[in-house]
Amino acid sequence: FPIFDIKGRVLGFGCRVLDESLPKYINSPETLVYTKGRNLYGLNFAKEAIRENDSVVVVEGYMDFTIPFQHGFKNITASLGTALTTEQVRLLKRYTNNVVMVYDSDSAGELATLRSMDIFIEEEVNLKVVSLPKGCDPDTFVRKAGVESFRKEVEDAADIFDYKLNILTSRFDIKDAVNKAKVCGLMLETINKLKNAILKDEYLHKLS
C-alpha cells in the first residue's frame, strides 16, 4: 500500500501478509520524510468529499479505508494503525470539525479510541464513535453487510460520553462502590477537559 501525503506524494509503503504469519503488517521505517503520526492514509483521495460532507470517518488500517472507499463511501481516512496524534487531528481540522471514529471492536480498538478522545476534546472537535459488532472491522463489515449498512452505523454513532461510559461499565461492576468511584473518576478526566461550560454541565448531570 503506497502511503501518500496530502499532495499525493508517496512517502513510504505499508505491507500486509496474505497468510497467518506474523507480524501481520510491515511498514516503511520512519524517516525525515515519513512520520506516521503526521499523516493520514487516503486523506489525499478523500479531502474534497470530507469538505463537501463537513464530516470524516476515521478508521484504523489500509483495508478499512480502501473497501468502504471503493464502495462509494468517500469521506473516510485511516490513522495508519495507531492511536491518533494531535498533529493528525489538526490535519483533519483543515477540512472538517466533525469526526466519527470507527475502530475495531476488540479491546485494542476500544483502547485506541479512548486514548484519542482527549485529543479531540482539547482541539474542540466534535467526536462521535461507532461500535461495530464483535469480530467486525470496517473492511469485513462492508463486505458482509454492504456500504449502506455501514453508512447507517455512522449516522447512529454515539457521542463520546456515552461511548466511554458504556466501555467502563462493561469492564467494571458499578454495583461495587469502589468500582463506581473508579468509573466516575475516569469519566471526570474526560469531562474536565471540555471547554464548553454548557456541555460540561450537561455531562456532569448525565454522569450523576
Confidence of residue 24 (pLDDT cuts 50, 70, 90): confident
Amino acid at 80: L
pLDDT in tens, 104-114: 666 666 766 77
Q: Which residues contact 37 (CB under 8 A, 6 or more apart)?
A: 82, 85, 87, 88
Q: Up-side HSE of residue 52: CA atoms within 13 Å toward CB?
A: 8
- Reference 78, options 52, 94, 99; nearest CA is 99
Round the average pLDDT of the chain to a whole number and report it: 91
What pLDDT, on a 0 to 100 scale, did the predictor assign at position 131?
86
User: Are residues 68 and 153 in contact, defined by beta-carbon separation less than 8 angstroms?
Assistant: no
Give the Cα separation of 113 and 104 in Å (integer): 9
Neighbours of 62 (CB within 10 A): 22
* Coil, strand or helix at 2: strand
pLDDT in tens, 134-165: 888 999 999 999 999 999 999 999 988 998 89
Q: Which residues pair with 2 in a beta bridge?
A: 13
pLDDT in tens, 39-96: 999 999 999 999 999 999 999 889 999 999 999 999 999 998 667 899 999 999 999 9
User: Are residues 92 and 99 in contact, defined by beta-carbon separation less than 8 angstroms?
Assistant: yes
Residue 38 DSSP class: G
Q: Residue 182 pLDDT more than 80?
A: yes
Q: Which residues contact 151 (CB under 8 A, 6 or more apart)?
A: 73
* Distances, alpha carbon 78 to alpha carbons 9, 11, 187, 207, in Å: 17, 15, 27, 31
* Beta strand pairing call for 126-129 and 158-159: antiparallel
What pLDDT, on a 0 to 100 scale, did the predictor assign at position 109?
65
* Coil, strand or helix at 69: helix
What pLDDT, on a 0 to 100 scale, did the predictor assign at position 191?
92
What pLDDT, on a 0 to 100 scale, did the predictor assign at position 108?
64
Q: Which residues contact 94 (CB under 8 A, 6 or more apart)?
A: none
What pLDDT, on a 0 to 100 scale, did the predictor assign at position 167?
87
What pLDDT, on a 0 to 100 scale, did the predictor assign at position 208?
92
